[in-house]
Amino acid sequence: MSTSSMQRILGKKGVEKIAMITCYDYSFARILDGKVDLILVGDSLGNVVLGYDRTAHVTMEDIVRHMGAVRRGAPNTLIIGDLPAGSYATPETAIENGKRIIDAGADAVKPEGRPDIIEKLTAAGIAVMGHLGYLPQTAEQFGVIGRDEQEAAALLEQARQVQAAGAFGLVLECIPATLAQKITGALSIPTIGIGSGAACDGQVLVLYDMLGLFTDFKPRFVRRYLNMAELVGDAVGHYVNDIKTGDFPSHKEEYQ
Ligand code: KIV
C-alpha cells in the first residue's frame, strides 16, 4: 500500500467517516469501485458465498482467487484481504501468506487479533488492518465482547498494541458502543466498526447482508438497503414463466 494511500485513510480520522464494505467477485467490485473508501475481501466469503457454517473453513486459495476477481473489478479502490484461519500461525507463514494476498491484488491484509503477528507483517513492509472484539475465526459462538470491565480493559490494551504494531486501521466487531468510543478516542489510527456503534471512525458491513442477499441470519447491527433475495427470486420466477409460456426467446433475441 502506498504511503499516500495510507495517509489518505489516516487523514479521514475525525474529519470524515470511512465507508468500507466486503466484496468477493468481479461484477460487484465493478459497481463498488470508486464508491467506497475501502473494500474488504473478507473471509465472510465462507458464509455468504461458499455456504460454510464457519469462516474457519476458508483457505488461502479461496482468498487469493477472490482477491484477483475483486482487484480486476475495482482497480481504483484500496482493497484489504483477510488472512484466513491458520494462515498466520507463525511470523514466517504470516509473511509468506500476506505477500501472496498482496501479489493477488490487495493493498493490505487483515488478521484477527495477534498484535505480535501484525508487528512482523508491518516490519516486512505489508500494510495491516487489525481486527478485535468478536473474532469469527476462533469464537465458539456469536456474541458481544467487552461487556465486563476486565474484558473491556483487555480490549483497550490490545487496541493500543495493534496501533503500536504499525496497523493503519482497526476493525472493532461487536463490542459495546461506549467501549468503541473509548478505544476510538484513545487511538490515532481510525477504527472501523461492525456492530460497535456510531462513534467509530468508519463502518463496515458484509455486502450480501446489506443487500438482503444472504438471509440465513441477520444480526441486529445489519441494516438492509435492499431485499435482493426477493428481487432475484421474482426475476427468476418471471424467466421460468416466460420459457414455459413460449414468450422467451422472442425473434429479437434470436439469430437468423
Ligand atoms: O470477513 C469479514 O467480512 C470481516 C468483517 C466482518 C469485518 O472480517
- Is residue 173 part of the annotated active site? The answer reads yes
Nearest CA to ligand 1 atom 1: 42
Task: Judge if 82 and 142 occupy the same domain.
Answer: yes
| Dihedral angle of Cα 45, 50, 52, 58, to the nearest 10 degrees | -60
Ligand 1 pocket residue status of 203, Cβ below 6 Å: no
206 Cβ inside 6 Å of ligand 1: yes
CB 228, CB 211: distance < 8 Å: yes
Are residues 120 and 175 located together in one domain of the fold?
yes
Task: Indicate whether 140 and 245 sit together in one domain.
Answer: no
What pLDDT, on a 0 to 100 scale, did the predictor assign at position 122?
Answer: 98
Q: Is 204 in the pocket of ligand 1 (CB under 6 A)?
A: yes
Asked if residue 238 and residue 220 are part of one domain, the reply reads no
Asked whether residue 129 falls in the same domain as residue 234, the answer is: no
Domain match, 92 and 219 both: yes
Which atom number of ligand 1 is nearest to the Cα of residue 45?
Answer: 1
Q: What is the pLDDT of residue 9?
A: 85
Specify the residue with its C-alpha closest to ligand 1, atom 8.
42
Is the entire prediction scored with pTM above 0.95? yes
pLDDT of residue 5: 77
Q: Does a cis peptide bond (omega within 30 degrees of 0) precede residue 91?
A: no
| Residue 128: closest CA among 168, 97, 83, 159 | 168
pLDDT in tens, 131-157: 999 999 999 999 999 999 999 999 999
186 Cα–ligand 1 center, Å: 23
Residue nearest to atom 2 of ligand 1 (CA): 42
**Which of 149, 151, 173, 230 is labelled catalytic?**
173
What was the pLDDT predicted at 119?
Answer: 98
Give pLDDT, residue 147: 97
Taking a C-beta distance cutoff of 8 angstroms, is the pair 193, 18 a contact?
no
Cell of 210: 446489506
- Please tell me whether residues 249 and 200 are part of one structural domain: no
Query: Same domain for 208 and 234?
Result: no
Together in a domain, 254 and 130: no
CB count within 10 Å of CB 24 equals: 25
Report the candidate in 126, 96, 133 with the shortest Cα–Cα distance to residue 112: 133
Cα of 248 from ligand 1 centre, angstroms: 40
- Which residues, listed in sequence order, are joined to residue 129 by a DSSP beta bridge? 169
Is 22 touching ligand 1 by the criterion CB < 6 Å? yes
Tell me which of 18, 173, 200 to substitute to probe ligand 1's pocket, judged by most ligand atoms within 8 Å of the beta carbon.
173
Structural domain boundaries, residue 37: 3-225
What pairing do the DSSP bridges indicate for beta strands 18-22 and 202-205?
Answer: parallel
Residues near 4 by Cβ (< 8 Å), separated by ≥ 6?
none
Query: Given the DSSP bridges, would you call strands 108-110 and 78-82 parallel, antiparallel or unpaired?
Result: parallel
Distance, CA 110 to ligand 1 centroid (Å)? 9
How much is the pLDDT for 124? 98
The predicted pLDDT at position 8 comes to 84
Q: Give the residue ranges of the chain where pLDDT is below 50.
A: none
Q: State the pLDDT at residue 2.
A: 78
Q: Are residues 238 and 187 in the same domain?
A: no
- Please work out whether the CB of residue 82 comes within 6 Å of at least one atom of ligand 1: yes
What's the CA gap between 142 and 256, in Å, rounded? 57
d(CA 218, CA 216): 7
194 lines ligand 1 (CB under 6 A): yes
For residues 130 and 9, membership in a common domain is answered with: yes
Domain count, the chain: 2
Q: Do 176 and 244 belong together in one domain?
A: no
> Which domain CATH number covers 124?
3.20.20.60
- Return d(Cα 63, Cα 81) in angstroms, integer: 7
- What residue type is assigned to position 200 of the chain? C
Hey, what's the torsion of the CAs at 52, 127, 38, 232, to 10 degrees? -20
The per-residue pLDDT for 98 is 98
- In tens, the pLDDT along 51-95 reads 999 999 999 999 999 999 999 999 999 999 999 999 999 999 999
Residue 101 Cβ < 6 Å to ligand 1: no
Q: How far is the CA of 26 from the centre of ligand 1 (A)?
A: 18
Alpha helices in the chain (DSSP H): 3-10, 26-32, 45-48, 60-73, 91-103, 115-123, 149-164, 177-186, 207-210, 228-244
Contact call for residues 4 and 11 (beta carbons, < 8 A)? no
